């Protein structure tokens, strides 16, 4: 196994994938291409070629997105250098020494170096180095000082933004002040606003105050490039003790550094105030592999050790609160951890037709980083999570060919992830919020405020048992049929929690597959495969209670010492409470009336958590819900003539969540691929291709609103639209109002067209040309059904009789997100001599896009979010590369 590899993150977005591929098409050329340009001779096959490539390139524009993974830095020139040296003793000599040095993309920040030296049949030494830069954004802006460190501060001249006509109290003087990030926009502060039902323009004094805030703050926003760089090197050795025994060891070290955007929130100002900060990345991962292998005629065994150590050099991030600059917020970063695993793999040939393979492993993952505490975390009973996860695995597979044309396989898999981390209860205030009042559980936890969270950690564990049976039978010449069955049983649990912690303690999934293959003719191949899977789940809507152990404690005022858990269990309810409107009310003084007042969901304070986590009845998390899945996969390969070949493939998938009233209820996808290649002669190749992928899903939910006795808005009672005519009727039925149900229909479609052309042996065999152009179009749509009510801001005292109190506002579809990418690649190689050549390449990348999500990042976008002014990626980049190539033997 090579000691160095480059693994690019896979992303579904055509914006990222196509841009990365287009950038990589031309930015450098591979020295291996020099040897591939001509048919090798016998001497060339036995004598390794050496090659070097030196050149330069230039880009017309800087674009982080266009060069996200290319390693190219901005606009202007870059170098091209590739080297491939191979050598050793002659192939027909008794000396089996071999070596190779390969240098790739030295002029770019995706450079790599690998070296090998060894004696065939005795040992091999390997060294590898590579780096990869990812440019995420070059338009991000922030007023914070200290980007590139873990401590972000605001300039001393920073003024808390306000909309003066709406708030006259500066947060610097009070945590209940009116900080409003929209006050950074002159358009917002100059516009009229509804005040007591009257559209009111700002006064001269208010305009002057806003202008002063903007003049102080807007110049403080500075550009910060968001990018990460991964650097990795490794060493490896393989030693042959004798023809049957082999020892292997490798070590890899990886450093990752840079900045990424991270959303933060604080409630210190008695409201959610958010900032997207430049999060510092500085982490190291070390990996060690040791192994010994025995390979006999029938038996092969490998024993191995794998260890990894992760060290995060950034223990926490701190940043000033833009809405209250003297307040410093802090959040911990990913903790240090390590993992060690022993494994044993074996394969035994029972007879000439049957083989048994097995693998067993045992691993331990630990994490004991010190927990971060401050005044907002009043209850932290331990200094470390003392995290321990024990992993065990076993795989068995038996493959046999009992008769000609028939292959049978049976497999079993066991995989357990046993999280043995101790369970503790922690008390904290949300995002730095100040303590308020006294908790109803003060008898158990003295000193806690009424807004405290009492949460227990949940050490999630899982145990998988899986069985597979496969049969592959040649029906006749050129035809084969394959059938397979899979049964998967999953158990999920937490050790030490006071109640079951997992939404699906037990689930099972059965899958049947069938495939027919036809290769009856030399020029035609057909494959059709079908599969159906059914997953059944034991869903537990009260699993959230494991997070809130206070649900098993009696809060102050509870009748008869009752608890939330005991009450909902006795009544057969979930934390959502009875599916009722305001009436009939529960018996006054009863536990039901206390915990489910007005038939509403369990109050946050009564289970010691400030965020609602009880679930809607019928709500299912899609990965833990009952599901039926059907798939069809087909392909066709047709050699229409000696010069023309055609290929087509289609994949269809449909998921149905029959027992999910809320959550993901259905999903389906269609993918079609078509391509054709025409080779009229040995020197010409033309390829056309088209792909289309269409994904659709449907989700459902409910905008929960508690029942209440409120009967008017500013003295007015009529509702326009919706399911109820008056405020009183609506509020008495808020919890069961069908007009508060909503449904989202999401669709993502990506279509691509492309062409590539290669022509060799031009100009007397000296010139080779190749090029390609591709166009991708991506569209994302979200259609919405349902709606919500909004009180009429004009329904105030003194308004005209008959004024509408509230309106039902139907949901509308979101604007279409659009991405269009065009990539053009042209290159030519001219041979000067047998050893020398010149290569010239050109590429053009163009992207245009529309995405409403970026609107909220601009000045004036959101009141509680500090803007970053980050722009939607678009680019138009031309790249030219010229290089000289030399090869020798």
- Residue by residue, what is the 3-state secondary structure of 42-101? HHHHHCCCEEEEEEEEEECCCCCCCCCCCCCCCCEEEEEEEEEEEEECCCCCCCCEEEEE
Say if CB 192 and CB 201 are below 8 A apart.
yes
> Is 432 strand, coil or helix?
helix
Secondary structure in 3-state letters for 471-530: EEEEEECCEEEEEEEEEEEEEEEECCCCCCCCCEEEEEEEEEEEEEEEEEECCEEEEEEE
Can you give the pLDDT at residue 616? 87
Say if CB 669 and CB 652 are below 8 A apart.
yes
CA 733 – CA 333 distance, rounded (Å): 44
Backbone angles phi, psi at 559, to 5 degrees: -65, 130
- Condensed to tens digits (0 to 9), the pLDDT of residues 466-513 reads 999 999 999 888 899 999 999 999 999 999 999 999 999 999 999 999
Can you give the pLDDT at residue 189? 96
CA 379 – CA 637 distance, rounded (Å): 66
Q: Which of 247, 342, 343, 359 is nearest to 295 (CA)?
A: 247
**Which regions of the chain are under pLDDT 50?**
1-38, 173
- Condensed to tens digits (0 to 9), the pLDDT of residues 743-768 reads 999 999 999 999 999 999 999 999 99
Can you give the pLDDT at residue 95? 85
Say if CB 543 and CB 506 are below 8 A apart.
no
Model pTM score: 0.90
Can you give the pLDDT at residue 172? 53
- Cβ contacts of residue 47 below 8 Å, gap of 6+? 91, 889
| Angle at CA of residue 147, ends 141 and 148, nearest 5° | 135
Can you give the pLDDT at residue 169? 61
Can you give the pLDDT at residue 864? 94
Can you give the pLDDT at residue 152? 98
CA 95 – CA 90 distance, rounded (Å): 7
Q: Which of 125, 80, 83, 84 is nearest to 107 (CA)?
A: 80
The helix or strand, by DSSP H or E, that contains position 410, with its residue range, turns out to be strand 406-419
The helix or strand, by DSSP H or E, that contains position 316, with its residue range, turns out to be strand 316-321
Q: Which of 688, 584, 585, 677 is nearest to 639 (CA)?
A: 677
DSSP labels for 562-613?
--HHHHHHHHT--TT--S--S-SPPPTTSHHHHHTGGG-PPPGGGGT-SS--
Say if CB 576 and CB 601 are below 8 A apart.
yes
Q: Which of 492, 493, 485 is nearest to 534 (CA)?
A: 485
Say if CB 789 and CB 767 are below 8 A apart.
no
Strands 662-681, 619-620: parallel, antiparallel or unpaired by DSSP? Answer: parallel
> Is 833 strand, coil or helix?
coil
- Cβ contacts of residue 13 below 8 Å, gap of 6+? 778, 819
For 268, 277, 823, the CA distances from 866, given in Å and listed in that order, are 15, 10, 36
């Amino acid at each position: 196994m090579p000691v160095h590899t480059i693994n690019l993150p896979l992303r579904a977005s055509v914006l990222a994938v196509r841009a990365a591929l287009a950038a990589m098409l031309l930015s450098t050329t591979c020295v291996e291409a020099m040897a591939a340009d001509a048919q090798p001779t016998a001497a060339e096959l036995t004598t390794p070629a050496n090659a070097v490539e030196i050149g330069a390139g230039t880009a017309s524009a800087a674009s982080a997105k266009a060069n996200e993974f290319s390693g190219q830095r901005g606009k202007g020139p870059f170098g091209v250098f590739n080297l491939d040296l191979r050598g050793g003793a002659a192939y027909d000599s008794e000396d089996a020494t071999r070596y190779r040095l390969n240098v790739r993309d030295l002029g770019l920040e995706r450079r790599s170096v690998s070296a090998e030296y060894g004696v065939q049949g005795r040992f091999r030494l390997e060294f590898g180095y590579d780096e990869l830069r990812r440019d995420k954004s070059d338009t991000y802006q922030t007023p914070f000082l200290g980007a590139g460190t873990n401590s972000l501060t605001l300039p001393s001249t920073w003024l808390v933004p306000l909309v003066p006509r709406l708030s006259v109290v500066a947060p610097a003087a009070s945590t209940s002040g009116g900080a409003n990030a929209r006050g950074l926009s002159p358009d917002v502060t100059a516009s009229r606003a509804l005040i007591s039902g009257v559209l009111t323009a700002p006064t001269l004094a208010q305009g002057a105050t806003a202008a002063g805030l903007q003049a102080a703050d807007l110049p403080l926003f500075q550009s910060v490039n968001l990018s990460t760089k991964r650097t990795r090197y490794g060493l490896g050795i393989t030693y042959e003790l004798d023809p049957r025994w082999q020892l292997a060891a490798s070590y890899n070290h990886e450093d990752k550094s840079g900045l990424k955007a991270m959303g933060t929130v604080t409630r210190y100002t008695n409201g959610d105030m958010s900032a997207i900060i430049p999060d510092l990345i500085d982490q190291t991962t070390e990996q060690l592999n040791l192994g010994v292998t025995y390979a006999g005629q029938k038996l092969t065994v490998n024993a191995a050790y794998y260890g990894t150590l992760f060290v995060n050099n950034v223990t926490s991030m701190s940043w000033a609160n833009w809405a209250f600059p003297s307040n410093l917020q802090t959040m911990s970063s990913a903790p240090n951890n390590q993992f060690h695993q022993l494994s044993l793999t074996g394969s035994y040939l029972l007879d000439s037709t049957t083989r048994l393979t097995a693998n067993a492993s045992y691993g331990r993952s630990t994490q004991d980083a010190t927990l971060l505490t401050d005044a907002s975390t009043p209850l932290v009973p331990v200094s470390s999570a003392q995290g321990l996860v024990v992993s065990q695995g076993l795989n068995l597979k038996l493959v046999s060919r009992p008769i000609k044309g028939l292959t049978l396989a049976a497999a079993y898999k066991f995989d357990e992830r046993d999280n043995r981390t101790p369970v503790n209860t922690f008390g904290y205030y949300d995002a730095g919020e100040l303590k308020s009042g006294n908790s109803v559980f003060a008898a158990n936890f003295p000193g806690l405020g009424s807004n405290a969270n009492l949460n227990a950690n949940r050490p999630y564990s899982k145990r998988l048992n899986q069985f597979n049976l496969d049969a592959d039978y040649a029906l006749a010449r050129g035809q084969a049929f394959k059938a397979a069955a899979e049964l998967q049983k999953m158990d999920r649990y937490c050790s030490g929690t006071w109640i079951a912690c997992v939404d699906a303690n037990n689930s099972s999934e059965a899958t049947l597959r069938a495939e027919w293959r036809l290769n009856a003719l030399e020029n035609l191949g057909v494959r059709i495969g079908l599969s159906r899977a059914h997953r059944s789940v034991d869903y537990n809507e009260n699993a959230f209670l494991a997070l809130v152990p206070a649900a098993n404690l009696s809060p102050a005022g509870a009748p008869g010492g009752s608890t939330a858990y005991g009450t909902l269990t006795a009544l057969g309810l979930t934390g959502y409470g009875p599916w009722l409107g305001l009436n009939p009310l529960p018996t006054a003084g009863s536990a039901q009336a206390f915990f489910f007042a007005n038939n509403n969901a369990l109050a946050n304070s009564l289970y010691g958590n400030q965020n609602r986590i009880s679930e809607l009845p019928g709500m299912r998390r899609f990965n833990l819900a009952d599901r039926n899945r059907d798939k069809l996969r087909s392909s066709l390969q047709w050699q229409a003539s000696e010069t023309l070949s055609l290929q087509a493939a289609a994949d269809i998938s449909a998921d149905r969540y029959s027992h999910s009233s809320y959550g993901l209820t259905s999903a389906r996808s269609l993918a079609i691929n078509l391509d054709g290649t025409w080779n009229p002669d040995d020197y010409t190749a033309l390829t056309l291709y088209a792909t289309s992928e269409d994904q659709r899903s449907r989700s459902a939910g409910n905008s929960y609103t508690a029942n209440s006795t409120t009967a008017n808005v500013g003295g007015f009672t009529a509702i326009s639209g919706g399911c109820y005519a008056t405020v009183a009727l609506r509020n008495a039925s808020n919890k069961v109002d069908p007009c508060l149900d909503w449904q989202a229909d999401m669709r993502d479609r990506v279509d691509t067209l492309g062409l590539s052309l290669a022509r060799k042996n031009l100009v007397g065999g000296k010139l080779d040309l190749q090029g390609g152009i591709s166009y991708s179009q991506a569209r994302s749509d979200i259609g919405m059904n349902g709606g919500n009510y909004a009180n009429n801001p004009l329904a105030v005292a003194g308004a005209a009789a008959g004024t509408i109190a509230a309106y039902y506002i139907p949901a509308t579809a979101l604007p279409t997100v659009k991405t269009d990418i065009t990539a053009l690649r042209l290159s030519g190689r001219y041979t000067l001599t047998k050893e020398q050549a010149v290569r010239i390449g050109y590429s053009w990348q163009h992207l245009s896009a529309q995405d409403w999500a970026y609107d909220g990042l601009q000045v004036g976008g959101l009141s509680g979010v500090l803007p970053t002014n980050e722009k939607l990626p678009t680019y138009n980049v031309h790249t030219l590369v010229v290089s000289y190539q030399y090869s020798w033997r």
